[in-house]
């Protein structure tokens, strides 16, 4: 009986609003009043921040963009989330955060801190920098589009990775990289022509624009070229697939790089000094298309193609390493790699990594392999040869290979 | 039939396991990472060894204690009536305060994770009221509850950790060298602090009934808790790294926030937080039960149920007034509570038992 | 439970047997028949035949009692005690004959379908069992569907029920002890167990609890269930009740004690544990892997029926971050036109579901089916189309309801339904925290229950971590299995069941 009374009292106290602190109704949201924010943007505006959110409430044609400015991201967002007509935007389903170039340069840590600190936001929100324009303009231009702006941005993020033009790092990855290495990479996008995000017809005119390199103190914001970006993807093992045009003799072969393995080997001399870092990249590719005349079944041709592939990838990787060393920013985490492989030796060296790194030789070796093609076939010229018997064809092909 | 409130050794060890999951998730991985950095995932291992030693010591002290006598009785035997009672009262007051702290800790965790708008009051009140009702009940009911819930808790934890596996990166866990040994040892202290809490459950030792002739079965709670500690630290560190882990109040739950289950459930955080509330509730109920048992021994009362409600009220007061905000609360959580806990669990209580053994009281 | 009353003053239990006294007992009863019989055809040698019309078989009375008794060749000149001795010795062709010397026993026999020959001078009567064959025949169980098993269910007649049990357990050690229940109704109840096998302490405790029952009459199952359980306030069943004779006998063979009550087409078994209420006899008819999968499905159904509505309420009200984006978008859209908050929707739907269920049970079959269909259409389709409730709520509540119907035991299903409501309330006011605390409380309550000394949550709790797989999985019949150790059976070892 007593237990029943106690429990009833417990429930009653929870039920009644007799004391404000004794209910959790302040966390209650009516589901029909919710606006899902699947993407939001942040740009600098004077000394403050302009935040735009793209919220959907069911049907896509109910989607809308709302923006607010404030002295900080937190204040602007706080006002923005409490939308008019009793609606409330929630950030728990946000997939991407787009920030303008100025915002990245000046207030990146504020963005990351907000995402880390706010209880609703997930750390795996993708981070993108919009170059040549403001992130807000991108969102505004996409508003009212079909599919929705959020889907377009999510699709863009997927597309970038799938075509090997870059990789969208999440806020967690950027935050961890900044904390551990003092530097991070962030994917950039830019308008194709004259910095315009949309063409005359209003269609999205965006392309991936490589990586931006940012530092923890916010002082540095550098941008990598396409080749350097490819090199980063190779060395960070983030390349999903990449189509490359290779000049092989008189032909141009388009190959798709799909399989990638990267092996690092720091080399120490007898005195325990780090002399160089060797990296061996094994790349498997398949032949997608061929322009010109070539017998792809011939070993010599394939070897030439593989040499071209290896050289292209090696150049990209070397370019990424060179840029990293020029900037003095270890965004490839060579320090971490060396520390994991030879922690004792590195510690025994006793030298600061920032002294070693800029001049440390890094040898990149790439072994490209053309593993398959969609179909093995002779070029039209070979098919015009005079008729051979099957035995003759076989012996001829064996001779060639 | 079945009117005796007796439990088996296995039931007691299961209760210990389930209860200590509560403080385990509070202190890990942050407390270990503060000392041991990225090697913190190894910290539970030395803690296991230390726990084993303490367990062996307490086993040895309690070997010849007559059936029906708990730690409170042992204390009075060891130190004599007056001093023993005084020590028991001191322990009871500390455990009452600790129960309030655990309640408040659970409430703060709920606020930080899934109930951002609100005050801890409702969670404290509800949890304490239910814990009082349970704490006033029989020990066997509570231990059976722990037996039933244990596989569910372990299953949920295992599923969550496995789901987090794809995000774990060796780069955030390595390198670990021999130089990290000292740091790992320091990092094991917070883990050992939690494991040492088993000592309090020996106050319920008087309820343990041994079947004559049968070898008592125990649940491998120490290995289980160590495995949980290892898993939580490993996965959290492997996902977000040491720097982010140290800066977060509930790093483990931040990791869980990002888990999706086959696209059916987006963030399992709310479920896991709620499931962990159950461990908090069991721990608080057990502490109230232990305190009631101590008071029963001190006052010589026949039943302990009457002490549960006043203990609950005191614990509630402690929960409300221990700190105003989370910053003051963190001081208690990081420094004061661990220090007092270690003093009791590692120093004072074993010392009293050792005195009793030396004086050949049991 | 009623307070013990004194016997009604008009029936003196130990009064001597006379015709006048018996007629006084049954005064005003239109079914009480009384006539003089001439023993051996001699009008000077009379005995009074009494019986309750309807309870006895008229033809049996005529053929087996009156005819031989009035035959001059058998009973010429036989009087008084000699006549009684002959009657008891088999001169009358009835297989049960008793000599009664007290009015209470005599009245009790008449009420049990006996006819009585009263010898006033001797102050004795001889009663013969000539029960009327008018009784419900053995039929298939109505409430517990049989897919692949024996289709004989218990009936209201005790003798038939015990016969059914004896046919399945042809064991001379099978004991059937009788207990009268009910001060006014004097219902006959029996305790069934296997002597030398069933734990004698269990038998003694069951007997003691049966004897302690003080009621007017045992006409409903609740009389047994609520009076013999350890905690009658708990909504969870602690006594296994079944219509099926095979289930009854299987449990006897596991070491349980059974009870049969005259007038109730049910067998009761103790102790009843949670895992027992998850089992059906079909588990032993089908393949052991399939049976194990179905048992696991039942446990999943318990979780679904308890938690689905509460989980939905908690997530929709407080934890929307858990809902996948696309689903949340469609939920927002669906909810836009619904005027009620989620909490009200779910409670309304649950109530509607319960109303439908009750209506379906109460109404006669043809009408009940029609009402169920109309109710489903109205509640399900029309309510959604009228935007009174959203479709997701209908799906969730229907899923929980269907999951509840997979419970083999109706009482367990009812208890879970009650808990479902409580969990929904906890979710409304406290979100996922409330659901967790509610579940913990339910588990605590179940863990605190015992049924005749056996922990209710056995083997999940109180079994030293052993035999837990037995509750969830069925081993092949070719593998020897341990008995449940909590039942402390006489052989205590392995057995093939």
| Residue A213 lies inside a defined structural domain of this protein | yes
> Taking a C-beta distance cutoff of 8 angstroms, is the pair C304, C400 a contact?
yes
Residue with the larger pLDDT of the pair B136 and C94? B136
Cα–Cα dist C247/C226, whole Å: 21
Least confident of B85-99, B141-155, C101-115, C142-156: C142-156
A291-320 average pLDDT score: 89
Domain boundary among A223, A249, A268: A223
Q: What percent of chain B has pLDDT over 90?
A: 63
A27 touches chain C (CB under 8 A): yes
Cα–Cα dist B344/B197, whole Å: 9
**Who contacts A394 (Cβ-Cβ below 8 Å, separation ≥6)?**
none
ipTM summary value: 0.94
What's residue C496's pLDDT?
42
Cα–Cα dist A120/B112, whole Å: 10
- Residue C83 pLDDT level (bands cut at 50, 70, 90): confident
Residue among C205, C323, C462 minimizing CB distance to B266? C323
| A313-356 residue pLDDT tens | 999 999 999 999 999 999 999 999 998 889 888 888 888 888 88
Least confident of A139-143, A187-191, B120-124, C276-280: A139-143
User: Which residue has 């060797």 as its token pair?
Assistant: A278
Average pLDDT, chain A: 83
> Taking a C-beta distance cutoff of 8 angstroms, is the pair C273, C449 a contact?
no
Least confident of A92-96, B37-41, B206-210, C432-436: B206-210
Q: DSSP label at B208?
A: B
For B193, B195, B336, the CA distances from B189, given in Å and listed in that order, are 6, 10, 14
Q: What percent of chain C has pLDDT over 90?
A: 36
User: Which residue has 């036109």 as its token pair?
Assistant: C337
Domain span holding position B99: 9-358
B18-25 average pLDDT score: 94
CB contact under 8 A, B114 and C431: yes
Beta strands in A155-308 (DSSP E): 183-191, 206-215, 221-223, 242-248, 251-268, 274-291
**Who contacts C351 (Cβ-Cβ below 8 Å, separation ≥6)?**
none
User: Can you give the CATH number for the domain in which A387 is found?
Assistant: 3.30.300.210
**Who contacts B154 (Cβ-Cβ below 8 Å, separation ≥6)?**
B224
H or E segment to which residue C242 belongs: strand C240-242
Cα–Cα dist B28/B31, whole Å: 6
| A233-262 residue pLDDT tens | 999 999 888 899 999 888 899 999 988 899
Quote the tokens at residue A239.
Answer: 């390349």
Report CA Rg, chain C: 29
Q: Are A327 and A251 in the same domain?
A: yes
What's residue C472's pLDDT?
86
For A255, A295, A297, A306, the CA distances from A397, given in Å and listed in that order, are 23, 11, 8, 20
Quote the tokens at residue B338.
Answer: 């661990």
Cα–Cα dist B322/C241, whole Å: 53
| C186-200 residue pLDDT tens | 788 899 999 989 999
* Torsion angle of C-alpha atoms C301, C302, C303, C307, degrees rounded to 10: 110
Domain boundary among A200, A223, A246: A223
Chain A neighbours (≥3 Cβ pairs under 8 A) are: B, C
Cα–Cα dist B23/B277, whole Å: 11
| Residue B44 lies inside a defined structural domain of this protein | yes
| B249-263 residue pLDDT tens | 788 888 888 777 776
User: Which residue has 């050794």 as its token pair?
Assistant: B9
- DSSP, residue by residue, A115-158: HHHSSSS-TT-EEEEEESS-HHHHHHHHTT-SS-HHHHHHHHHH
C9-29 average pLDDT score: 81
CB contact under 8 A, C317 and A92: no
| A383-401 residue pLDDT tens | 445 566 777 767 776 766 5
**Residue A89 pLDDT greater than 90, yes or no:** no
Chain B neighbours (≥3 Cβ pairs under 8 A) are: A, C
Cα–Cα dist B246/B187, whole Å: 13
Q: Are A310 and A194 in the same domain?
A: no
- The C-alpha angle with vertex C295 and arms to C291 and C296, in degrees rounded to 5, equals 120
| Residue A22 lies inside a defined structural domain of this protein | no
**Residue A228 pLDDT greater than 50, yes or no:** yes
The pTM score is 0.86
Q: Beta strand pairing status for A34-45 and A88-90?
A: parallel
Cα–Cα dist C487/C205, whole Å: 13
> Taking a C-beta distance cutoff of 8 angstroms, is the pair A365, A210 a contact?
no
Residue with the larger pLDDT of the pair C95 and A70? A70
Q: Which of A6, A29, A30, A32 to mutate to test the interface with C (most CBs of C within 10 A)?
A: A32
What's residue C492's pLDDT?
54
**Residue C419 pLDDT greater than 60, yes or no:** yes
- DSSP, residue by residue, C141-158: -SSS--SSS---B--S-H
> Taking a C-beta distance cutoff of 8 angstroms, is the pair C218, C187 a contact?
yes
Spatial CA neighbour of A128 closest among A184, A168, A173, A177: A168
H or E segment to which residue C438 belongs: helix C410-448
**Residue B135 pLDDT greater than 80, yes or no:** yes
Domain span holding position A336: 227-401
> Taking a C-beta distance cutoff of 8 angstroms, is the pair C430, B122 a contact?
yes
Residue with the larger pLDDT of the pair C98 and C187? C98
> Taking a C-beta distance cutoff of 8 angstroms, is the pair C71, C63 a contact?
no
Residue among A92, A119, A172 minimizing CB distance to B113? A119
For B250, C12, C18, C19, the CA distances from C24, given in Å and listed in that order, are 84, 11, 10, 8
Q: What percent of chain B has pLDDT over 70?
A: 97
Residue among A11, A28, A57 minimizing CB distance to C318? A28
Quote the tokens at residue C63.
Answer: 């053929």
Q: Are A109 and A214 in the same domain?
A: yes
**Residue C12 pLDDT greater than 80, yes or no:** no
C265-280 average pLDDT score: 92
Q: Which residues are registered as beta bridge partners of C222?
A: none
Residue with the larger pLDDT of the pair B287 and A79? B287
> Measured between CA atoms, how close is B166 to chain A, in angstroms?
13
What's residue B175's pLDDT?
82
| Residue B1 lies inside a defined structural domain of this protein | no
CB contact under 8 A, B147 and C461: yes
What's residue C9's pLDDT?
47
Cα–Cα dist B239/B266, whole Å: 18
Quote the tokens at residue B232.
Answer: 């939580």
| B265-285 residue pLDDT tens | 677 788 888 889 999 999 999
**Residue A60 pLDDT greater than 70, yes or no:** no
How many angstroms separate the first and last alpha carbons of chain A?
92
> Taking a C-beta distance cutoff of 8 angstroms, is the pair C122, C92 a contact?
no
What's residue B147's pLDDT?
95
B and C: number of Cβ contacts within 8 A: 115
What's residue C146's pLDDT?
79
Quote the tokens at residue A158.
Answer: 């997927």
Whether omega before C241 lies within 30 degrees of 0, making that bond cis, reads no
Average pLDDT, chain C: 86
Q: Report the number of distinct structural domains present in chain B.
A: 1
Q: Which residues are registered as beta bridge partners of A247?
A: A252
Q: Which residues are registered as beta bridge partners of C494?
A: C482
Q: DSSP label at B179?
A: G
| Residue A21 lies inside a defined structural domain of this protein | no
> Taking a C-beta distance cutoff of 8 angstroms, is the pair B159, B271 a contact?
no
Chain C neighbours (≥3 Cβ pairs under 8 A) are: A, B
Beta strands in C197-245 (DSSP E): 240-242
Cα–Cα dist C116/C17, whole Å: 11
What's residue A17's pLDDT?
44
Average pLDDT, chain B: 90
User: Can you give the CATH number for the domain in which B80 is found?
Assistant: 1.20.1740.10
φ, ψ (nearest 5 deg) of residue B248: -105, 140
| C211-267 residue pLDDT tens | 888 877 777 888 888 888 999 899 999 999 999 999 999 999 999 999 999 889 999
C134: helix, strand or coil: coil
**Residue A16 pLDDT greater than 60, yes or no:** no
Q: Report the number of distinct structural domains present in chain A.
A: 2
Domain boundary among A195, A223, A251: A223
> Taking a C-beta distance cutoff of 8 angstroms, is the pair A217, A139 a contact?
no
**Residue A380 pLDDT greater than 60, yes or no:** no
Quote the tokens at residue A74.
Answer: 């937190």
Tell me, rounded to whole angstroms, the distance of Cα B242 from its chain centroid: 24
Residues in C closer than 8 angstroms to B305, CB to CB, are none
Q: Which of C437, C452, C459, C466 to mutate to test the interface with B (most CBs of B within 10 A)?
A: C437
**Residue B329 pLDDT greater than 80, yes or no:** yes
Spatial CA neighbour of A241 closest among A166, A305, A189: A166
CB contact under 8 A, A14 and B240: no
How many angstroms separate the first and last alpha carbons of chain B?
32
> Measured between CA atoms, how close is A74 to chain C, in angstroms?
20
Residue with the larger pLDDT of the pair A377 and C458? C458
Cα–Cα dist C385/C367, whole Å: 26
CB contact under 8 A, A57 and C336: yes
Q: Are A271 and A200 in the same domain?
A: no
What's residue C427's pLDDT?
95
Cα–Cα dist C13/C268, whole Å: 31
Cα–Cα dist A57/B334, whole Å: 43
| B141-165 residue pLDDT tens | 999 999 999 999 999 999 888 888 8
What's residue A382's pLDDT?
46
Q: DSSP label at B262?
A: T
| Residue B197 lies inside a defined structural domain of this protein | yes
Cα–Cα dist B291/B308, whole Å: 8
What's residue A18's pLDDT?
44
Residue among C205, C318, C461 minimizing CB distance to B144? C461
What's residue C185's pLDDT?
67
> Measured between CA atoms, how close is A210 to chain B, in angstroms?
24
| A149-195 residue pLDDT tens | 778 888 888 888 888 889 999 999 999 999 888 999 999 988 776 56
């Amino acid at each position: 009986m007593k237990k029943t009374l106690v429990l009833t009292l417990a429930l009653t106290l929870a039920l009644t609003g007799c004391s404000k602190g004794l209910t959790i109704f302040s966390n209650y949201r009516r589901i029909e009043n919710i606006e899902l924010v699947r993407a939001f943007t942040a740009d600098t505006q004077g000394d403050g921040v302009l935040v735009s959110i793209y919220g959907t409430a069911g049907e896509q044609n109910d989607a809308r963009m709302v923006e607010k400015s404030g002295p900080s991201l937190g204040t602007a967002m706080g006002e923005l989330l409490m939308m008019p007509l009793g609606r409330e935007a929630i950030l728990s389903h946000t997939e991407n955060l787009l920030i303008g170039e100025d915002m990245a340069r000046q207030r990146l840590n504020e963005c990351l801190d907000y995402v880390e600190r706010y209880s609703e936001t997930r750390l795996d929100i993708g981070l993108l920098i919009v170059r040549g324009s403001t992130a807000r303009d991108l969102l505004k231009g996409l508003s009212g589009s079909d599919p929705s702006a959020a889907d377009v941005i999510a699709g863009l993020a997927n597309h970038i990775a799938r075509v090997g033009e870059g990789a969208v790092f999440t806020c967690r990855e950027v935050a961890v990289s900044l904390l551990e290495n003092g530097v991070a990479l962030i994917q950039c996008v830019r308008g194709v022509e004259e910095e315009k995000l949309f063409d005359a017809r209003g269609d999205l005119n965006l392309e991936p624009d490589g990586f931006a390199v940012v530092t923890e103190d916010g002082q540095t914001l550098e941008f990598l070229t396409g080749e350097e970006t490819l090199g980063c993807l190779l060395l960070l093992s983030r390349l999903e697939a990449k189509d490359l045009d290779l000049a092989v003799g008189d032909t141009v072969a388009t190959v798709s790089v799909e399989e990638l393995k990267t092996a690092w080997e720091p080399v120490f001399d007898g005195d325990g000094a780090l002399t160089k870092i060797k990296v061996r990249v094994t790349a498997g590719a398949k032949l997608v298309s061929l322009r010109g005349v070539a017998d792809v079944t011939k070993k010599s041709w394939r070897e030439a193609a593989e040499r071209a592939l290896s050289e292209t990838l090696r150049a990209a990787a070397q370019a990424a390493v060179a840029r990293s060393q020029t900037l003095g920013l270890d965004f490839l985490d060579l320090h971490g790699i060396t520390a994991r492989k030879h922690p004792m030796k590195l510690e025994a060296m006793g030298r600061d990594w920032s002294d070693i790194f800029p001049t440390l030789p890094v040898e990149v070796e790439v072994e490209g392999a053309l593993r398959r093609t969609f179909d093995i076939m002779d070029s039209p010229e070979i098919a015009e040869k005079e008729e051979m018997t099957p035995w003759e064809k076989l012996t001829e092909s064996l001779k060639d290979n | 039939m079945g009117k005796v409130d007796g439990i088996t050794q296995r039931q007691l060890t299961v209760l210990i396991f389930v209860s200590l999951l509560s403080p385990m998730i509070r202190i890990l991985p942050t407390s270990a990472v503060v000392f041991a950095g990225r090697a913190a995932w190894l910290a539970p291992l030395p803690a296991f060894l230390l726990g084993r030693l303490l367990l062996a010591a307490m086993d040895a002290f309690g070997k010849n204690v007559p059936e029906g006598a708990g730690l409170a009785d042992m204390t009075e035997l060891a130190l004599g009536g007056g001093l023993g009672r005084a020590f028991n009262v001191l322990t009871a007051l500390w455990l009452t305060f600790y129960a309030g702290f655990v309640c408040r800790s659970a409430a703060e965790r709920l606020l930080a994770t899934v109930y951002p708008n609100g005050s801890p009051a409702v969670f404290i009140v509800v949890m304490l009221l239910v814990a009082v009702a349970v704490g006033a009940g029989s020990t066997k009911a509570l231990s059976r509850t722990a037996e039933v819930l244990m596989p569910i808790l372990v299953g949920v934890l295992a599923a969550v950790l496995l789901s987090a596996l794809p995000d774990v990166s060796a780069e955030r866990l390595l390198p670990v060298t021999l130089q990290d040994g000292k740091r790992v040892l320091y990092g094991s202290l917070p883990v050992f602090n939690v494991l040492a809490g088993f000592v309090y459950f020996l106050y319920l030792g008087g309820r343990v009934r041994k079947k004559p002739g049968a070898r008592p079965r125990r649940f491998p709670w120490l290995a289980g808790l160590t495995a949980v500690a290892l898993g939580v630290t490993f996965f959290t560190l492997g996902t977000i790294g040491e720097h982010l882990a140290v800066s977060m109040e509930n790093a483990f739950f931040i990791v869980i926030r990002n888990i999706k289950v086959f696209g059916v459930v987006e963030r399992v955080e709310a479920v896991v937080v709620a499931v962990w509330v159950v461990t908090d509730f069991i721990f608080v109920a057990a502490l109230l039960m232990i305190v009631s048992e101590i008071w029963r021994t001190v006052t010589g009362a026949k039943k302990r149920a009457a002490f549960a409600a006043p203990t609950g009220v005191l614990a509630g007061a402690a929960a409300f007034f221990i700190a105003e905000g989370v910053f003051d609360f963190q001081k208690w959580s990081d420094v004061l509570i661990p220090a007092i806990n270690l003093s009791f669990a590692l120093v004072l209580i074993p010392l009293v038992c050792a005195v009793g053994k030396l004086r050949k009281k049991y | 439970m009623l307070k013990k009353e004194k016997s009604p003053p008009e029936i003196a239990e130990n009064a001597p047997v006379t015709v006048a006294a018996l007629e006084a007992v049954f005064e005003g009863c239109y079914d009480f028949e009384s006539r003089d019989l001439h023993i051996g055809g001699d009008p000077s040698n009379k005995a009074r035949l009494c019986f309750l019309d309807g309870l006895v078989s008229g033809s049996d009375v005529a053929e087996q009692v009156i005819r031989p008794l009035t035959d001059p060749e058998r009973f010429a000149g036989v009087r008084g005690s000699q006549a009684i001795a002959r009657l008891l010795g088999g001169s009358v062709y009835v297989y049960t004959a008793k000599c009664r010397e007290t009015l209470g026993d005599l009245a009790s026999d008449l009420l049990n379908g006996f006819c009585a020959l009263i010898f006033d001078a001797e102050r004795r009567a001889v009663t013969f069992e000539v029960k009327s064959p008018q009784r419900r025949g053995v039929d298939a169980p109505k409430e517990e569907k049989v897919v692949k098993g024996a289709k004989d269910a218990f009936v209201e007649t005790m003798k038939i029920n015990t016969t059914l049990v004896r046919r399945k357990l042809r064991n001379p050690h099978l004991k059937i002890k009788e207990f009268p229940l009910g001060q006014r109704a004097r219902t006959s109840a029996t305790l069934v167990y296997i002597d030398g096998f069933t734990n004698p302490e269990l038998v003694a405790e069951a007997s003691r609890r049966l004897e302690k029952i003080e009621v007017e009459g045992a006409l409903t199952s609740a009389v047994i269930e609520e009076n013999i359980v350890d905690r009658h306030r708990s909504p969870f069943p602690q006594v296994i009740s079944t219509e099926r004779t095979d289930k009854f006998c299987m449990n006897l063979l596991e070491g349980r004690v059974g009870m049969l009550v005259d007038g109730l087409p049910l067998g009761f078994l103790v102790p009843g544990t949670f895992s027992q209420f998850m089992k059906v006899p079909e588990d032993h008819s089908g393949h052991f892997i399939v049976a194990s999968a179905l048992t696991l499905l039942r446990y999943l159904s318990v979780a679904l029926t308890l938690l689905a509505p509460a989980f939905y309420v908690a997530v929709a009200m407080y934890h929307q971050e858990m809902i996948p984006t696309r689903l949340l978008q469609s939920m927002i859209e669906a909810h836009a036109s619904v005027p009620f908050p989620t909490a009200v929707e779910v409670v309304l739907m649950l109530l509607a579901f319960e109303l439908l269920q009750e209506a379906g049970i109460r109404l006669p079959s043809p009408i009940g089916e029609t009402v169920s269909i109309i109710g489903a259409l109205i509640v399900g389709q029309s309510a959604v189309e009228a935007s009174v409730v959203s479709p997701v709520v209908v799906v969730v509540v229907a899923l929980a309801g269907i999951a509840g119907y997979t419970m083999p035991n109706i009482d367990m299903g009812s208890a879970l339904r009650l808990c479902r409501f409580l969990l929904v309330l906890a979710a409304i006011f406290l979100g996922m925290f409330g659901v967790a605390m509610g579940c913990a409380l339910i588990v605590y309550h179940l863990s605190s229950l015992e049924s005749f000394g056996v922990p209710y949550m056995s083997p999940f709790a109180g079994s030293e971590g052993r035999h837990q797989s037995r509750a969830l999985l069925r081993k092949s019949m070719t593998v020897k299995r341990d008995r449940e150790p909590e039942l402390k059976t006489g052989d205590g070892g392995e057995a093939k069941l």
